[in-house]
Amino acid sequence: MRTKGIKQIIKAVIPSALIRYRGPSASRRVALTFDDGPVPGITDEVVRSLTARGHRATFFVVGQRAESCPALVKEIVDSGCEVGNHTYSHLPLSRVSYNQLASEVERTDRILNRNVAGPSWFRPPGGGLSWRLLLYLWRRRIKASPVLWSICVPHEHRKSQAEILDILRTAAPGPGDIVLLHDDHRTIVHVLPAILDLLDERKLRSVSLSELLEPSFY
């Protein structure tokens, strides 16, 4: 309850330019984002499904997992998608010391920098925000900008495909939305084609966060 209250206060007082929840609605673009991978046999299939349909996405990778499959991280980037930092071991950052928080983020940066250009985006596990985290991001001058989401599909592996699609249809994704999904369970492989069908129905295209949030560079 306390963490939720902190998050609400932070969202109210911190400018949206510093913590991004959505992008501009000037074009028919959304950003599908996938947390908690990469997982061989899942993430690669997600990437191929996206690119086959002309979509791109951002994958917030866990450093521990990225370290064990660098070729998969490179495949994500080579496909036109991008990677973001999701900490090294997916610990709730509100419960760790400042030094441990810094280690979680910077260790993942170093792993990703071995294979691809440094990540532009950072997402705390569970979207957990705290004053300690904001202080850390400010001190490192937000080398990777924090991004949360405007639409969330929680715990896909506990839901049927129909339930997942119902969540998305109810949320009614529109231009500028940032959608949270996960690529650590095969459920996403099976439901992704239907999610892309829904975007097509709504005349939306998924792009990377950089394309959505920094359109002047594309």
State percent of the chain over pLDDT 70: 89
DSSP code at position 211 = H
pTM of the model: 0.91
The catalytic site residues sit at 35, 182
Which pLDDT belongs to residue 163?
93
Which pLDDT belongs to residue 182?
96
- What DSSP letter does each residue of 180-195 carry, written as one string? EEE-SSTHHHHHHHHH
Type of residue found at 142? I
* pLDDT beyond 60 at 149: yes
